Structure 1
């Protein structure tokens, strides 16, 4: 047999490679979806993104503690996303999105390039940690047609997340405001300040509590108390200086400790989540609950979970308000599908449906003035429920959130000076 020399082998290999490359190029020219796979999605046009997204399954990690939110995602968003865009949305519920951030961090540390998290519901301290650890994919918001058309990108409560610039790493999904929920049959005149709340707690022992930080709602209650017990929020709208902050916190810890023995179970234990607190309220063990969703009380009344006498209130000095976002992790394997899902959830159709308490009842992230007259009419006609405060009253009582660096300091302080 004739021996084949090395130069001949080299020529054959090169010829095969050129042939395969030509086939690949021809295939990409005839298949836009295949071509899009090699395109930088952060620069691609929207048709390329939508084409690549078809057939993808997007794993969305999100807090799963609300039945109405879960139903909106599973029964309203997912079917339409599947039918209109051929994208399957899989909701992955978690108790605390911080667990998902830690999961991403662990994957980053072992250089896992193909993760299981494609889309994440995030804001505040979790966004800060994800951004600082480089756990998010890239600046994608300007790629979304609905973001460009309907969002006021320069609004302070959009471009900054708990004082931290978003820089396009997340897209605003909705707005929330802290409200207190109470049974009007048992509480004829709800307190209008935290000082009045403390008096009420002492006069009605065992009928009030709050979730233990770092639960998201419990942490928010602590921040709310910080503002009113230490002279207002303005002094905290700057980067954290831990040394100067510590002396300011004594009135906060004193306030919380002053009513601790009058709390549910004498403050010896706290509900570990908002869901647990809601259950205590629904059972009549406590007479108040709380949360970031102004329409949630109305939703729970309609479901029969909360008594029909349930109402909500805000404090005269105002309550915390913020925007929450959707983001794409650094190692998402379905970025195109995630972008299409986010863009759909920012559409007027999806946002107006979310605004309706029959679905969720949460405030929209869209700029109302950017909507069509017909969509503005639809928004104005939605009945948000008997327990939902008027939009004007909520808006006039909005207070900005602390910069996210403060959150861990306060949560850890509560563990040290209150829980112990």
Structure 2
């Protein structure tokens, strides 16, 4: 997630702010819009990137103008804290909660779903949902292998992606086996962020998937027996890799931004991200050389969808639905996908869009973007994350 160097102003037509034709006369949706007018939506979303914050501010202004809904961005460091707040408010019987909409996925969604902390189902009733690519992007209906069941609306796509400077690394490693050989040949020049940093945990999950030919158990709620069996080859693989990493695998950078900066400085040869457009963003911002390329393992890397959910005790559930619906609209999704704005891949099926809306997404490939996308491998079930992070810390966290 990065800072753009320029702000691309996307003109909004009246059609961009309206529902698809089939839904414009939907009485239920019209009632939601009437109820929403005048409401203030407290949108709890990660606030660590200037360009994302600016995008949210732009979207908020659009919905204020078109629907009379005010959106306040509550900047969050850790979504788990939002889950805890909603949990405590519900336990205290607070019916007018402080959270109206939350940017969420993975184990945080799983916790809210299991504990009855979510409003809905609402997602598939949103008029803009008609354009979501549920066939080509099945993770729009499964969050870390947990069925979404309409309890959250897809917002953007992500996939584990590596980057390297082609001048230094003309043939980057495109499999776990090649990565191990590369690390051995370049001691101290490769690493990954320290879990529970999201990117670090994702890298560990990628290795877990790569070392398990039979992945069926990884997509079911974790059990102690399944965990022990599936992670045995994971720890073997990491034990083989770590001695060749930066600082011999005794220390790990705090996050992906630190790894990327170390690559930019020449200290490391590889970096990783969960946004396939990240390197293109950084090149556009002049923070990476234009010789940096992005790639994924040939056999595939972990991919997922990030979502928008409404807590069960939201004060402005109608306003939250109106804002979520706008964020799913072609106009908002195209702006979000623009490298100059955010560069977050769309959840929409472009072939479903009217030609004028589809044209919003037409753009030439930029330096740093992935040339050939590899298959997206679904995330293991969200229940695996906590055990993985704890066992990683026990083995390697000292």
TM-score (norm 1): 0.82
CA contact (8 A) 2:303 2:376 kept: yes
Matches within 5 A, 1:403-414: 403-414=381-392
Report the Cα distance in structure 2 between the residues aligned to 1:104 and 1:408, rounded to whole angstroms: 20
Matched, 1:364 2:346: yes
**Relative to 1, partners in 2 of residues 1:110 and 1:277: Cα closer, same or farther, differing over 3 Å?**
farther
* Cross-structure match for 1:387: 368
Report the Cα distance in structure 1 between the residues aligned to 2:217 and 2:111, rounded to whole angstroms: 23
The CA deviation at 1:44 is 7.3
* Cross-structure match for 1:172: 154
Q: Secondary structure at the match of 2:87?
A: helix
Q: Which runs of 4+ in 1 moved over 6 A?
A: none
Matched, 1:351 2:349: no
* Cross-structure match for 1:211: 193
**Relative to 1, partners in 2 of residues 1:222 and 1:175: Cα closer, same or farther, differing over 3 Å?**
same
* Cross-structure match for 2:319: 337
The CA deviation at 1:235 is 5.1
Deviations 1:187-243 (A, max 9, x none): 121001112112222322332221222221111101101111232545533443321
**Relative to 1, partners in 2 of residues 1:153 and 1:180: Cα closer, same or farther, differing over 3 Å?**
closer
Unmatched 5+ residue regions in structure 2?
1-25
Deviations 1:259-314 (A, max 9, x none): 32332233232222233333333443323221211011101110112222221111
The CA deviation at 1:361 is 1.7
CA contact (8 A) 2:208 2:230 kept: no
* Cross-structure match for 2:288: 306
**Relative to 1, partners in 2 of residues 1:99 and 1:209: Cα closer, same or farther, differing over 3 Å?**
farther
The CA deviation at 1:409 is 2.1
The CA deviation at 1:181 is 1.5
Q: Secondary structure at the match of 1:261?
A: helix
Matched, 1:286 2:264: no
Report the Cα distance in structure 2 between the residues aligned to 1:105 and 1:85, rounded to whole angstroms: 30
Q: Secondary structure at the match of 1:60?
A: strand
Report the Cα distance in structure 2 between the residues aligned to 1:171 and 1:163, rounded to whole angstroms: 15
Deviations 1:25-73 (A, max 9, x none): xxxxxxxxxxxxxxxxxx9722222222223222211223333322322
Size of the aligned set, in residue pairs, is: 372
Matches within 5 A, 1:264-275: 264-275=246-257
Unmatched 5+ residue regions in structure 1?
1-42
Matched, 1:50 2:33: yes
TM-score (norm 2): 0.87
